[in-house]
Amino acid sequence: MAGHCTGCGPRPAAFCAVPPLTRNKTRPVNRFAYNLLFTLILPLIVLRLLWRALKAPAYARRWAERFGLVRLSPQQQAQRGEWLWVHAVSVGETLAAAPLIRKLRAEHPQIPLVVTTMTPTGSERVRDLFGSDVCHVYAPYDHPWSVLAFLARFQPRLLVIMETELWPNIIHYTKQRGGQVIVANARLSEKSARGYEKFPALGKPMLRQIDCIAAQAHNDAERFVRLGVTAQQLQITGSIKFEIELPEDLAERQRELQQLIGRNRPVLIAASTREGEEEKVLQAFRQCLSQVPELLLLLVPRHPERFKAVAKLCADQGLSVVRRSDGLEAGPLTKVFLGDSMGEMLTYFSVADIAFVGGSLVNTGCHNVLEPAAMGLPVFVGPSQFNFQTICEQLEEAGALQTCADASALATAVIAACQDEALRTRMGQAGRTLVAQNRGALQRTFDLVLQHYGNVP
């Protein structure tokens, strides 16, 4: 079931960091005021889309979808009212949803699935992972007209929101049109909870409309209760992200990449780094070189549109760079191997000895720390962890992860790990053990999804 995607849906400029009801800190906001504000800023949203398209051409394509204008085939139109809608914002949420989607396709292939994302990178991951097995479209902006246009085409029986991407109109009109709403793999940091508390007139009615919140852990559930969610709405399922599936051909991929980077030097991977973070990583790396001169940095930026700029940054600092896309071997003098490809993160982890996970030395909340832990790597992160707060706490308590306050602290930690094989082994084994102990969330979430979907067609 392939969707005809004709639009693009990045998160609106005025609401790009957290769910929309957490923005204004002084005035009460209900859904009417929220809709009025959204209408007023629509020109700014379009301008931001144009600006982003200058750096990433994918943002210039498929515009109509953000207004819910999706073209469906006659077969897809006939499935109106049966759709199961999975909403994942970008790459991280798509990867979290992937095991659930695979299980649904394997056990109930007759259920029509529409998967929405809000970024081109998320869109690429959906296509790479599922191809035509699902209908992929960009999510509509959370304006009543856009949401209603989208719902008119699909009329989903169930909406599964991954993690905590809560949009008032999407939830309200899905319920109004007879759909059920689940938040799966739900997480809620203390920072986000405080933000929601500032807007009870908007937040509480929205949360009351959600049929089930499948929380990752007890502390996430407790924060939802503070916001007015009832015990009947809550289930604690654990995190689907613990359900890490290694590709069957991983060993072959590992051998191929190992030939390019070499075997006789330690490798530090800096995974999913963000803008402004590479400078800090390179600062730490240069400090490491004073003690571990043979160290190789495997640098993997989060967004493909930044690959070229990051390569230039490394070269400007006098560091010899080899790019994955060039297919060349890293020689003895190569200091940085740039992972400028998509869909190879597990392969990159498989050839590393130590992992730093990005999005954490800048205030973007960290990225997936479970993948390197599952691969048996010692994991280091910066202090910004709100996207993986509970999981980081679990890993740190188990001895698999260490938080580094800044670039200097990261360098100190990496040097210690490079010089202490026993430390690397202890941290790596602790990570593997924790991941194995927390499996089972997928089945629990799958059961909830089927329960709320109802009779399978």
pLDDT at 1 over 60: no
pLDDT at 242 over 60: yes
φ, ψ for residue 300, nearest 5 deg: -125, 95
Please state, for a pLDDT cut of 70, what percent of the chain lies above it: 94
pLDDT at 117 over 90: yes
Give pTM, 2 decimals.
0.77
pLDDT of residue 247: 86
Instruction: Give the residue among 18, 70, 91, 14 at the shortest CA–CA distance from 45.
Output: 14
pLDDT in tens, 64-112: 999 999 999 999 999 999 999 999 988 889 988 999 999 999 999 999 9
pLDDT at 269 over 80: yes
Segment 297-322 shows an average pLDDT of 96
- Is residue 93 annotated as part of the catalytic site, yes or no? yes
CA distance 171 to 194: 21
CA distance 46 to 320: 40
pLDDT of residue 253: 95
Q: What is the largest CA-CA distance in the chain?
A: 65
3-state SS of 279-323? Answer: HHHHHHHHHHHCCCCCCEEEEEECCHHHHHHHHHHHHHCCCCEEE
pLDDT of residue 204: 92
Residue from 65, 93, 165, 277 carrying the catalytic annotation: 93
What the chain holds in terms of domains, given with CATH numbers, is 13-243+440-453 (3.40.50.11720), 250-437 (3.40.50.2000)
pLDDT in tens, 343-376: 899 999 999 999 999 999 999 999 999 999 999 9
Give residue 378's pLDDT band: very low, low, confident or very high (50, 70, 90): very high
Segment 14-38 shows an average pLDDT of 58
pLDDT at 20 over 80: no
pLDDT at 251 over 80: yes
Give residue 27's pLDDT band: very low, low, confident or very high (50, 70, 90): very low
CA distance 404 to 426: 18
Give residue 22's pLDDT band: very low, low, confident or very high (50, 70, 90): very low
Structure tokens belonging to residue 43: 């020109």
Segment 4-24 shows an average pLDDT of 35
pLDDT at 29 over 70: no
pLDDT at 134 over 80: yes
Give residue 26's pLDDT band: very low, low, confident or very high (50, 70, 90): very low
Question: pLDDT higher for 21 or 420?
Answer: 420
CA distance 11 to 118: 6
φ, ψ for residue 124, nearest 5 deg: -65, -40
Packing angle between helix 91-107 and helix 441-453, nearest 10 degrees? 70
Beta strand pairing status for 234-236 and 267-273? Answer: unpaired
Mean pLDDT (the chain) is: 91
Please state, for a pLDDT cut of 90, what percent of the chain lies above it: 77
pLDDT of residue 210: 97
pLDDT in tens, 174-200: 999 999 999 999 999 888 899 889 888
